[in-house]
Amino acid sequence: MISEGVKAPDFTLPDKDGNQVSLSDHLGKKVVVYFYPRDNTAGCTKQACAFAGAYKEFEKLGVTVMGISKDSVKSHQNFAAKYELPFILLSDPELKAIQAYDVWKEKKLYGKVSMGVVRSSFIIDEKGMIEKVMEKVKPDSNAAEILEYLTKE
């Protein structure tokens, strides 16, 4: 896992509309990048809806929110439409950003071992440095925890 105080790995990935989005395009603003396993699963839907519910607060703070998974652009399009997600969803099927942020890990579920995205969030400061790393976050409380951290500064 990447540590706090280091330069955030830049990435360029397609959003739900197929537009290329780079982390470096957002220098000068705080950015929350959250990695999640899969669109339309129970936990990921809870997490996305929590970010959607808190989106106006993030906007007031001038913070950009980006969700990244290995789902396709089309999957993101459907996911965002179904749950009215107002923030950026990025598609990373080749695991470029997922591996750069070291969130592609071995996971165990019911004794079965597989590789997958470990739900993690990163707060990146205005200079592109990793300010805060949150590993193995809970889907329903992650957005609130990030907001609490950002408003305590």
CATH number of 145's domain:
3.40.30.10
To the nearest 10°, report the CA torsion of 93, 98, 100, 106.
-110
When pLDDT is cut at 50, 70 and 90, the band that residue 153 belongs to is: low
Mean pLDDT, residues 87-115 taken together = 93
Tell me whether residue 21 is in a domain.
no
Q: Which domain covers residue 55, as residue numbers?
A: 30-105+132-153
Q: Can you give the pLDDT at residue 138?
A: 93
Residue 73 lies in a domain: yes
Is residue 82 situated within a structural domain? yes
Rounded CA gap, 99 and 59, in Å? Answer: 28
* 119 inside domain: no
Instruction: Lowest mean pLDDT of 57-61, 62-66, 69-73, 108-112, name the range.
Output: 108-112
Q: Percentage of the chain surpassing pLDDT 70? A: 99
Marked catalytic residue, from 44, 68, 118, 147: 44
Mean pLDDT of the chain: 95
- If one counts every other C-beta atom within 10 angstroms of the C-beta of residue 54, the result is 17
pTM of the model: 0.95
Residue 49 appears among annotated catalytic residues = no
Split at pLDDT 50, 70, 90, the class of 109 is confident
Mean pLDDT score, 130-143 = 94
Pairing relationship of beta strands 88-91 and 104-109 according to DSSP bridges: unpaired
Reported confidence tier of residue 37, pLDDT bands at 50, 70, 90: very high
Q: Is residue 6 part of a domain?
A: no
Q: Is the pLDDT of residue 93 over 90?
A: yes
Q: Is residue 124 part of a domain?
A: no
153 lies in a domain?
Answer: yes
Number of domains the chain is built from: 1
Within a domain: residue 117?
A: no
> Which pLDDT does position 87 carry in this prediction?
97
